[in-house]
């Protein structure tokens, strides 16, 4: 390389490494250098404008071609969040552990939802939380200020995160305020309350979604796809267990008036709803047993452990269990004619791990598909936001919650009587799979 050309390159410090390498191997003409210099002077980024590196705008997102070879999985596309001012505004009602530890932080990963208001019985806590999330002081409400919340046009959806026994009244108030409703599970303390909530939202012309986060979580969705695909044969049996310990007897989850029950409606519901969502069927019968330690102040009003068996029209038997008295365990196992699917930490907030055992020639193959974890709360927030933006029915509407309430009442009856209790589809729903659910979720969302 001549001294003159070397000097030219040294005077162009912002040229990309790729251009410099090209200059050394193929020769870079003065005209090309001039072109690169003019592009930089006009504000263009350094280096060549190659779609593989710069991407391209398609609709409302930037897309890149896959730069990996066939030996690697293609990388996921970059996020495409809506502008903050265009996202659907949520009011969070109840600032307990779940709201502060999981739901409000999840808005940071949401793409279509944003927090715009808070409702709490603790003004000091509410003011602090509002400052932390950029919510104005005049968008903080007490539980008796639904009229003020109604007048806030930024609030499109109210997320009910109060104790179970308060859900009905909160949902009725939100519907009367003309706001769409996302309600935590379990939906209520009884099927009668659940029906009243559905009726109130229908009459008010607002949407009602129950926060079954696992139905939006990627690993749980993968199990549903595998089970229904028939890739490993027909499903024959399912095992689902959700257990943990509890220590403080004064917490609201151990008070029947607020919780409606013990381990069953709180964490056993994940087993019940998870099995139903997996198969898409509704059980035809229920058997159950309850075990509660005597003289334990924690369980004066509610049960500690429940085991229940569901039988489905296809012949599948699901054996489910839940407990407030065991080391944390959240497992889902699907046994098919040609394989076994296991989801570890199935009902946890994070840490899911999928494994599949099946025959491969003359030996048993064990696979562990690697999926991209996603924040379950952000996924359900964005789903509700999208339903509002596009006027769609939620995947987990009020009818989904009502059916679980009816089935939990049957489980309690079966445990009380020792008899098999016959159950069936929710009256008034369509025939076929997923009768209590809204449209299927799009893949990749």
Q: Which contacts qualify for 145-154: CB closer than 8 Å, 24 or more apart? A: 145/119, 146/173, 146/174, 146/176, 146/177, 147/177, 149/91, 149/117, 149/119, 149/177, 149/179, 150/176, 150/177, 150/178, 150/179, 152/91, 152/116, 152/117, 154/89, 154/116, 154/117
Residue tagged active-site, from 112, 156, 185, 207: 185
Residue tagged active-site, from 159, 270, 324, 412: 270
| Chain centre to alpha carbon of residue 201 | 22
Whether residue 185 lies in the annotated active site: yes
Q: Which residues are catalytic?
A: 185, 270
């Amino acid at each position: 390389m001549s001294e003159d050309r070397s000097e030219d390159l040294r005077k162009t410090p912002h040229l990309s490494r790729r251009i410099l390498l090209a200059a050394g191997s193929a020769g870079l003409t003065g005209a090309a250098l001039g072109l690169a210099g003019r592009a930089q002077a006009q504000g263009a980024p350094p280096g060549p404008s190659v779609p593989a590196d710069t991407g391209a705008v398609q609709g409302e997102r930037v897309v890149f071609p896959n730069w990996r070879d066939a030996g690697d999985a293609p990388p996921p596309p970059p996020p495409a969040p809506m502008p903050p001012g265009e996202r659907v505004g949520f009011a969070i009602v109840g600032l307990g552990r779940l709201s502060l530890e999981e739901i409000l932080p999840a808005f940071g990963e949401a793409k279509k939802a944003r927090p715009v208001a808070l409702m709490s019985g603790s003004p000091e806590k509410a003011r602090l939380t509002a400052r932390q999330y950029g919510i104005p002081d005049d968008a903080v409400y007490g539980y008796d200020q639904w009229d003020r919340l109604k007048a806030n046009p930024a609030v499109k959806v109210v997320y009910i995160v109060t104790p179970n026994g308060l859900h009905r009244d909160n949902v009725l108030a939100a519907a009367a305020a003309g706001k769409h409703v996302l309600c935590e599970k379990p939906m209520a303390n009884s099927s009668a309350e659940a029906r009243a909530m559905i009726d109130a939202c229908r009459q008010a012309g607002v949407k009602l979604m129950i926060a079954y986060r696992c139905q939006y979580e990627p690993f749980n969705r993968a199990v549903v796809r595998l089970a229904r695909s028939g890739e490993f044969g027909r499903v024959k049996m399912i095992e689902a267990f959700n257990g943990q310990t509890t220590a403080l007897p004064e917490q609201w989850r151990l008070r029947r008036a607020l919780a409606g029950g013990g381990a069953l409606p709180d964490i056993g519901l994940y087993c019940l709803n998870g099995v139903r969502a997996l198969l898409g069927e509704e059980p035809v019968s229920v058997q159950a047993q309850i075990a509660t330690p005597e003289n334990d102040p924690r369980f004066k009003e509610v049960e500690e452990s429940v085991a229940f068996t569901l039988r489905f029209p296809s012949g599948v038997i699901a054996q489910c269990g839940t407990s407030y008295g065991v080391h944390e365990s959240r497992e889902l196992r699907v046994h098919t004619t040609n394989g076994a699917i296991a989801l570890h930490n199935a009902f946890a907030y994070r840490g899911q791990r999928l494994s599949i055992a099946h025959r491969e020639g003359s030996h048993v193959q064990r696979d562990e598909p690697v999926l991209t974890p996603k924040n379950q709360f952000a996924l359900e927030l964005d789903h509700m936001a999208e339903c509002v933006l596009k006027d769609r029915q939620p995947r987990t509407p009020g009818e989904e919650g009502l059916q679980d309430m009816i089935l939990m009442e049957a489980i309690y009856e079966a445990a009380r009587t020792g008899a098999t209790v016959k159950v069936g589809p929710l009256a008034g729903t369509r025939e076929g799979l997923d009768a209590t659910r809204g449209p299927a979720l799009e893949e990749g969302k």
